[in-house]
Structure 1
Amino acid sequence: MALVPEPRHAGARRGGPHRRVVRHLDRHRRPGAGPRGAGPRPQQLEAQVAARTAELRRALESLRAEVEQREQAEANLRQMQKMEAVGQLTGGIAHDFNNMLQGIAGSLEIAQLRAAEGRTAEVLRYLEPARQALDRAAGLTRRLLAFARRQRLEPKPVDADALVAGMADLVRRTVGPSIRLELHLRDGRARVLCDSAELESALLNLCINARDAMPEGGRLTIGTEDVRFSAADLVGQEGAAPGDYVEISVTDTGNGMPTDVMERVFEPFFTTKPIGQGTGLGLSQVYGFVRQSGGVVRIESALGRGTTVRVRLPQHAQVHMVKEPDTAPVPNEAGPDQTVLLVDDEDVAREAAAERLRELGYRVLEAADGPAALHLLDGGARIDMLVTDVGLPNGMNGRQVAEAVRERRPGIPLLFITGYAGTELPPGSEVIDKPFELDTLARRVQAALARR
Structure 2
Amino acid sequence: MSEADRIPADFGRLFEAEEEAGLAVLDTEGRIRLANPALWALCGGGAAPETGGAAVALFTEETRAAVAGAVAAAIAGPPAPPAVPARLADPTLPPDAAVEVQCRPLRGEPGALMRVVDVTARRRMQRQLEEGARLQTVGQLAGGVAHDFNNLLAAITGAAEAALARSGGETAEDLRGILDAAARGARLVKQLLAFASRQTLAPQVIALGDAVAAMEPLLMQLRGARQVLELDLPRPGPLVRFDLAQLDQVLVNLVVNAREAMAEGGTIRIAVATHALPSEEVAQGSVIAPGEWVVLSVSDEGRGIAPEILPHVFEPFFTTRRGQGGTGLGLSTVLGIMRQSAGHVSVAPGAGQGTVFRLWFPAAQGVVAATREVATAPKPAAEARHRVLLVDDEPAIRLLARRALEGAGHEVQVAEDAEAALDAIAGGFVPDVVVSDVTMPGDMDGIGLARALRDERPGLPVILVSGYSEGTVGEGLSGLGIRFLEKPFRMADLVAAVGEAVPAAE
Identify if the C-alpha distance between structure 1 residues 442 and 327 changes in structure 2 by more than 3 Å, giving closer, same or farther: farther
Matches within 5 A, 1:301-450: 301=349, 305-314=353-362, 315-321=364-370, 324-326=373-375, 328-329=377-378, 331-335=380-384, 337-420=385-468, 425-428=476-479, 430-450=483-503
For 2:418 and 2:396, how far apart are their aligned partners in 1?
18
Match of 1:156 in 2: 204
Higher-strand-fraction structure: 2
Matches within 5 A, 1:7-406: 120-188=168-236, 190-229=238-277, 232=280, 244-275=292-323, 277-301=325-349, 305-314=353-362, 315-321=364-370, 324-326=373-375, 328-329=377-378, 331-335=380-384, 337-406=385-454
Q: Deviation of residue 242 (structure 1)?
A: 5.9
1:209 to partner: Cα distance: 0.8
Deviation at 1:207, TM superposition (A): 1.1
300-309 or 139-148, which deviates more: 300-309
The question of whether the paired residues in 1 share the 8 Å contact of 2:281 and 2:288 is answered with no
In the alignment, residue 378 of structure 2 is paired with which amino acid? P
Measure how far apart 1:329 and its partner are: 2.7
SS at match of 1:331: coil
Contact 2:206 2:369 in 1 (8 A): no
Residues 280 and 288 in structure 2, CA contact (< 8 A), matched pair in contact too? no
Q: Which has the larger radius of gyration?
A: 1
* Structure 2: 5+ residue stretches without partners: 1-77, 84-125
Residue 405 of structure 1 deviates from its aligned partner by 1.4
**Structure 1 letter corresponding to 2:452:** A
Q: Aligned pair in 2 of structure 1 residues 305, 236: CA closer, same or farther (>3 Å)?
A: closer
Amino acid at match of 1:425: G
Deviation at 1:409, TM superposition (A): 1.6
Residues matched between the structures, number: 364
Change (3 A) 1:320 1:196: closer
Q: Aligned partners of 1:259 and 1:213: how far apart in 2? A: 16
Decide whether the 8 Å contact of 2:466 with 2:487 is kept in 1: yes
Q: Is the contact made by 1:333 and 1:361 (CA closer than 8 Å) also made in structure 2?
A: no
* Per-residue Cα deviation, 1:260-315 (whole angstroms, up to 9, x for no partner): 22222112222222435212121111111101110111112259701111112232
TM-superposed CA distance for 1:214, in Å, is 0.5
RMSD: 4.1
Change (3 A) 1:166 1:323: closer
Query: What is the CA distance between 1:146 and its match in structure 2?
Result: 1.9
Q: Deviations over 1:390-412 (max 9, x none)?
A: 11112321122112211222222
What residue in structure 2 maps to residue 41 of structure 1?
none
Give how far 1:341 is off: 2.2
Distance 2:211 2:182 in 1: 28
Structure 1 residues 82, 233: CA separation in 2 closer, same or farther (over 3 Å shift)? closer
Q: Secondary structure at the match of 1:318?
A: coil
> Shift of the alpha carbon at 1:318?
2.0
**SS of residue matched to 1:210:** helix
**TM-aligned CA distance change 1:411 to 1:329, over 3 Å:** closer
